[in-house]
Amino acid sequence: MFSEIFNYFVMPTMVSLGAFSVFYVLNPSKANDVMKNVAWESVRMYSKANIYLENLAQSSSTNEDFIDDNDDFEESKPLLSYYNYENELDIQLGRDYETLPEEWWKESEQNVDLIILKNENSTELFKTFKNYNKFSLSDKDNWEKTEKQFVQVELMQNGSCIDIHKHLDSFYIQGNILFTPAFLKWYLQKWFDIVLEDTYTLKIFDKDVNLFNLTPEQYIILIDDVYKIKSLDETSENDEEEDTKSESSYEGAEQE
């Protein structure tokens, strides 16, 4: 047994290390490049494998917990709430939002900075909308999940760095809006009891090992298992979706 391990694993490893050592002595610059590429690809493979296993575990859990109960429709309807950024108010509207008159939405223009739908059927999922006037009740049943996009998300403010990725799995939903100031302020209050400052930076590490920063003037939209970085001065979420479907960049995002 020991001889087989020695012949098939130990010896090839020692020979490879020895050969690489000679290569490093002869061409240290090239050897460093090789080591960087190997390290980068290792991190990329680990990242993809980790996301795959997490998605597999979540899928198994969802299938085990899911109960198809059409008779209990009222309980299965998503909960609607909205968030006011300036006053830090999270207003719960419950499940009777379909009866709200159109006038209510028009008159609430100055109070609504973020619309949130919460689905509690099997696992807790959230749909978020940047502009309440773009909110469509006819789309309330579309809860198509997207591939997990981010491995790590860190909030940088006041000289401190805080990992805030932990609860994002509930937000990987088709069309979701992430990391607007209103979303971030609500998200931090709800799960981390952290106050969002006016000046901050998000440091994001995505599934393809791309590292980038997000400023308070930017946010992210999830479309077709990719994400796109947008500017707050872009007003139409419908236009954002069309742009995302017709444009692409490094497998995950396009930054303008």
182-226 tens-digit pLDDT: 999 999 999 999 999 999 999 999 998 899 999 999 999 999 889
Residues 154 and 229 in one domain: yes
Specify whether the CB–CB gap between 220 and 247 falls below 8 A: no
Neighbours of 172 (CB within 10 A): 21
Q: Is residue 212 part of a domain?
A: yes
- HSE, side-chain direction, 13 A CA sphere, residue 16: 6
pLDDT band (50, 70, 90) for residue 22:
low
Q: Is residue 254 part of a domain?
A: no
User: Which H or E element spans position 178?
Assistant: strand 177-178
The domain of 47 spans 2-65
Residues 133 and 87 in one domain: yes
Q: Is residue 145 part of a domain?
A: no
Residues 240 and 184 in one domain: yes
Alpha helices in 87-128 (DSSP H): 102-107
Q: Is residue 168 part of a domain?
A: yes
pLDDT band (50, 70, 90) for residue 125:
very high
Could you identify the residue written with the tokens 């209050």?
189
Q: Is residue 118 part of a domain?
A: yes
Of 47, 65, 83, which marks where a domain is finished? 65
Residues 132 and 182 in one domain: no
Residues 30 and 44 in one domain: yes
Residues 113 and 76 in one domain: yes
| pTM for this prediction | 0.67
Q: What is the pLDDT of residue 256?
A: 47
Q: Is residue 79 part of a domain?
A: yes
Residues 135 and 78 in one domain: yes
pLDDT band (50, 70, 90) for residue 104:
confident
Q: What is the pLDDT of residue 249?
A: 38
How many folded domains does the chain comprise?
3
b/e map 123-143, b = 16+ CB within 10 Å: eebbbbbbbbeebeeeebeeb
Catalogue the E-assigned strands of 40-149.
79-84, 89-94, 114-119, 125-129
Q: Is residue 253 part of a domain?
A: no
Residues 100 and 173 in one domain: no
Q: What is the mean pLDDT of residues 124-149?
A: 78
